[in-house]
Structure 1
Amino acid sequence: MRLAFLFGLFLFAVGALVAERYGLPGTVTGLTDKGFDKIEGFIAGTERPPAAFAAAAEEPAADMAHAPAATAALSSSTTADAARNMPTADNSAMSLNGDGLEIIKTSRGLTLSATMEDGDWHVGYAHTATATEGMSLTVPQAEELLLADLQPVQDGVRRMVTVPLNENEYAALVSFAESVGIENFGQTDVYRSLQNGKRDEAAEALSEHTIANVGGELTQMPSLMERRERERALFMSQP
């Protein structure tokens, strides 16, 4: 009797799964009916189903008692994982636009023939890395050297800023970081405010960085005041 019951159950399961998966009629789906007939005949008899089958049938109902707690724990874990793995803004495609570049050019000034300043040779837009005595440039060459000098600054801003930027915000930040130094940019209130989502505060903070060390004394520089105002206006403007 036990074997007949299990065999009927097997036929029922196989017929149901195959018929549902492949939609096959006839002999295959007939397995379901044959298995059902055997199980129905067993139930109509005087003996109860085997104890092992009855215990197995009751297990899902027992597990359901813990389902709400398990579901809540899973949901909480999933939410925490999602928060930890939430992607930051990707500013990798950003590039310095003409407005930001113009601010930097104006601040640096242009010299097409190398000059000595503070013990170093300067040429083009305050380029020093490859400047030598007697070196001269065309304007396009000077701009090419400037862009090469600015590459580490651009890379630094792209990497450090993890909130989304538009092209004007990015350009203003590159100009500002070039001025204060990319190594100092992350320590400024401009950067901290921006990272905290306070864009207006970040823009206002640009106006506070107008002091330079001149001859050992901290001095407010009109040239920096003008530059910060241009950077602030660019940061706040729509592309």
Structure 2
Amino acid sequence: MQVIFDFLRKISGGKLTQKQVSAANQVIANTTGSMVANMLGIAVDEISVSNQGVDLICDFEGKRLAAYDDGVGVWTIGFGTTIYPNGIKVKKGDTCTLDQAKLYMAHDLKKFEQAVNGAVNIPLNQNQFDALVSLAYNIGTGAFNKSTLVKKLNAGDIRGAAYQFDVWINAGGKRMQGLVNRRAREKALFLS
């Protein structure tokens, strides 16, 4: 949270004592970085998924212009959309155009970008962010926010967080090779 310490240095006249650094670290340890930034009135730049990240998600989600059951009873359309921007769930028999599918995905991505930006309180590089958005896109924001991966990441355990990708390989209680493949690519991207 370099931005926070830069701000604190600025308001304290350029330098921080060890006592001030320790106090700031304690506050940061007990709250998320974005909460601290908000308390201090600092605008924190949020990361957006890159074209590489979008391509990764599209490769695994595939493009389907007619609604399909994702294998565990969730109706899906386009590039993995399960709920339209108007809040209505995708249902059997729905169809869309390619342009609509792209619009649905753009809408969905914002939700998952916000989830990653909100849950993770350490700086991420673009590859890490893209991998996390892909994971969240697939497992949902609730599961992502509560995951051990996020806990390990926020504790600074990057390697431990990376190994948590391997946990998310089941759907409907069954190991799925497609998820094994997806997690391996997400993990490799995260570590690059």
Relative to structure 1, the CA distance from residue 76 to residue 200 in structure 2 (aligned partners, 3 Å threshold; closer, same or farther) is closer
Q: What secondary structure is seen at the aligned counterpart in 1 of 2:171?
A: strand
Aligned to 1:196: 155
Partners in 2 of 1:78 and 1:227 — Cα distance? 44
Shift of 1:225: 0.2
TM-score, structure 2 as length reference: 0.68
Q: Which has the higher contact order (CA 8 A, sep 6+)?
A: 2
Aligned to 1:115: 67
Structure label with greater radius of gyration? 1
Partners in 2 of 1:78 and 1:115 — Cα distance? 56
Partners in 2 of 1:106 and 1:203 — Cα distance? 21
Shift of 1:145: 1.3
Q: 1:227 aligns with which of 177, 182, 185?
A: 182
Aligned to 2:97: 137
Q: Give the ranges of 4+ consecutive aligned residues of structure 1 lying more than 6 Å apart after TM superposition.
A: none
- Does residue 83 (structure 1) correspond to residue 38 (structure 2)? The answer is no
Unpaired stretches in structure 2, ≥5 consecutive residues = 1-16, 38-43, 85-89
Partners in 1 of 2:134 and 2:48 — Cα distance? 12
Aligned to 1:18: none
Unpaired stretches in structure 1, ≥5 consecutive residues = 1-74
Asked whether the 8 Å contact 2:148–2:161 carries over to 1, the reply is yes
Shift of 1:79: 5.3
Partners in 2 of 1:231 and 1:198 — Cα distance? 17
Asked whether the 8 Å contact 2:131–2:190 carries over to 1, the reply is yes
- Does residue 205 (structure 1) correspond to residue 164 (structure 2)? The answer is yes
What is the one-letter code of the residue matched to 2:50? N
Relative to structure 1, the CA distance from residue 183 to residue 80 in structure 2 (aligned partners, 3 Å threshold; closer, same or farther) is same
TM-score, structure 1 as length reference: 0.56
Partners in 1 of 2:132 and 2:138 — Cα distance? 10
Aligned to 1:148: 107
Q: What secondary structure is seen at the aligned counterpart in 1 of 2:167?
A: coil
* Coordinate RMSD, CA, aligned: 2.8
Question: Can you list the C-alpha shifts for 1:144-199, whole angstroms capped at 9, x where unaligned?
Answer: 21120121111011011000001110010111112221111122221111111111
> Of Structure 1 and Structure 2, which has the larger fraction of its residues in helix?
1
Q: How many pairs were matched up?
A: 156
Shift of 1:208: 2.3
